Amino acid sequence: MEEQGGKAWLVLDAPLRKKAIREALFGGYWWFQSFPALALMLFKVRKGKTLNQLATATGMSESVLRDSVLAANAAARGEAPEPFGKSPGGRQVLDQGPFYACDISVDNPVFPLGALTLGGLRVDEHSGAALDEQGQPIAGLYAAGRTALGIPSHLYISGLSLADCVFSGRRAGAAVAQLTARQLQPTLASQVTS
């Protein structure tokens, strides 16, 4: 998506689409999660009996689509590295047509590709000060919000991001307040003395 001007397709084969529809209906999701997913899989979808037909239906290059699916399949079978960095549980062999392509482009009004910032800057874990390439604090620069904090190590649960934003904002604010107080103290002390 980042490399294609915001355009992206999610490719499923027939068994995976069936499984995904069943999960959206009976998997215990909230309606606001399952409705857009169902609309995407049922209405905003292109279909092809073969991968070549799917390429024609979507405007993708036949060879690029075929090579991408073959590479993903090889990774799902454990025969090659996973090209998109998917964890083993997220890998699926796509080899039973018809094949489907769901439009998950950023401008899709039904179900745009969800994107979240999860980490980015390296920070001092006690103060939130942004670190340079040598791991040294950059004077006067603090980070707060999602860019300041890392990737949830086990599960991503709704609320984690906002909680992390509150936590990291408070951490940076407290660090700056402490620093300011320390800088002011000598002045105040000398004023008091004089």
**155 touching ligand FAD, by CB under 6 A:** no
Kindly state the helix (H) or strand (E) to which residue 33 belongs, with its residue range: helix 31-42
Task: Using CB under 6 A, pick the residue from 162, 177, 181, 184 that binds ligand FAD.
Answer: 162
Task: Using CB under 6 A, pick the residue from 1, 165, 176, 179 that binds ligand FAD.
Answer: 165
Kindly write out the interface string for residues 3-42 of this chain, putting x where it contacts ligand FAD by CB under 6 A and - elsewhere.
----------------------------------------
Task: Using CB under 6 A, pick the residue from 114, 135, 140, 186 that binds ligand FAD.
Answer: 114
Tell me the window of 9-17, 72-80, 153-161, 172-180 that interacts with ligand FAD (CB under 6 A).
153-161
Do 89 and 18 meet the contact criterion of CB atoms below 8 Å apart? no
Burial 112-148 (b: 16+ CB within 10 A, else e): beeeeeeeebebbeebbbbeeeeeebeeeebbbbbeb
Task: Using CB under 6 A, pick the residue from 4, 116, 182, 183 that binds ligand FAD.
Answer: 116
Nearest residue to 140 via CA among 180, 92, 108: 180
Task: Using CB under 6 A, pick the residue from 71, 92, 145, 175 that binds ligand FAD.
Answer: 145
Q: Is 4 exposed, middle or buried (0-12, 13-18, 19+ CB in 10 A)?
A: exposed
- Contacts with ligand FAD, residue ranges (CB under 6 A): 114, 116, 145-147, 158-162, 165
